[in-house]
Structure 1
Amino acid sequence: MTHANLMNNYFDPNLVYTVEDFRHRFRMRRHVFERLFCDAQQVNSYFRQKRDRAGRPSFSPHQKVTVALRMMTYGSSADSMDETHGMSESTCLDTLEEFCDTIVQVYKDEYLCELNQEDLNWLLRKVEDRGFPGMIRSLDFMHWDWKNCLTGWQ
């Protein structure tokens, strides 16, 4: 039932919510979601529809990707997904881990590269133009140990 509601609300031709609602709730355009969805399904069999031991369909790929994205987007806890998506806490955590691993595997070469000096200079210009001079430089010092920092925070 939760799969049917999700499809009816966001993905079927006669959807309940508008394109703007989708972008607001998912924090991305639908074509970006579709790309992530398709790539996750192609690379990781976890995101393909299966049947459970009783022969019933398990959670749909749309449900799994939606739950992972909602947890990341809103910082939602895994146990809060049970109410809206009918997915247990442990399944949500497994889904989030599988999704993150898959996305890193698929996109790491394109998006997760180490910055070179040219990239860093471009970023520094961008953040300075937006009123945050020195923002990137402040990240360089996050590895420092603070002698007076509480032990629990070190």
Structure 2
Amino acid sequence: MTVAIRMLAYGMLADAIDEYVRISESTTIESLKRFCAGIISIYREEYLRLPTEADIFRLLREGEKRGFPGISHNDINILDQSYFFAELIEEHAPSANYTINGNQYTTGYCLADGIYLKWATLVQMIS
């Protein structure tokens, strides 16, 4: 667990860990894989699932409090692993009703930078 947490928390390479905990690079990589598999098996049902209507409502309210009406707070760094974005690819966006400048919208959005795809649900605010 020590090597896995150090790698994830500090972005350390496997070969840099060996001096700290005195294990080989291959053991470090295997430990990280087992740690991640354990986390997934424990938390899959709660955190690695499609958002429910209640989840979406809660996220939208939180976004509004912070000045971003209609925004969904998802980590777009894991685009290829996200159930949320898998649904968007199939053109099934969760409904989210909100108004900005008098315009009514029915789908949420995520803030992104210029490296992400040009999807209606990814608002590219940062160049």
TM-score of the two chains, using structure 2 as the length reference: 0.53
Aligned residue pairs total 81
Q: Which residue does 2:25 correspond to in 1?
A: 89
1:123 Cα deviation from its structure 2 partner? 1.0
61, 64, 70: which one aligns with 2:6: 70
1:92 Cα deviation from its structure 2 partner? 0.9
1:144 Cα deviation from its structure 2 partner? 3.4
1:12-66 deviations in Å (ceiling 9; x for gaps): xxxxxxxxxxxxxxxxxxxxxxxxxxxxxxxxxxxxxxxxxxxxxxxxxxxxx11
Distance 2:48 2:40 in 1: 8
Give the residue type in structure 1 aligned to 2:110.
S
Q: Secondary structure at 2:7's aligned position in 1? A: helix
Q: Which residue does 2:117 correspond to in 1?
A: 144
1:93 Cα deviation from its structure 2 partner? 0.8
Give the residue type in structure 1 aligned to 2:50.
E
TM-score of the two chains, using structure 1 as the length reference: 0.44
> Does 2:61 align with 1:125?
yes
> Does 2:46 align with 1:110?
yes
Instruction: Give the fraction of aligned pairs with identical amino acids, expressed as a percent.
Output: 43
- Listed as ranges, the gaps of 5+ residues in structure 2 are 73-108, 120-127
1:90 Cα deviation from its structure 2 partner? 1.3
Q: Which residue does 1:79 correspond to in 2?
A: 15
Distance 2:21 2:39 in 1: 22
1:111 Cα deviation from its structure 2 partner? 2.5
Give the residue type in structure 1 aligned to 2:16.
S
Higher strand fraction: Structure 1 or Structure 2? 2
CA-atom RMSD, angstroms? 2.7
Higher helix fraction: Structure 1 or Structure 2? 1
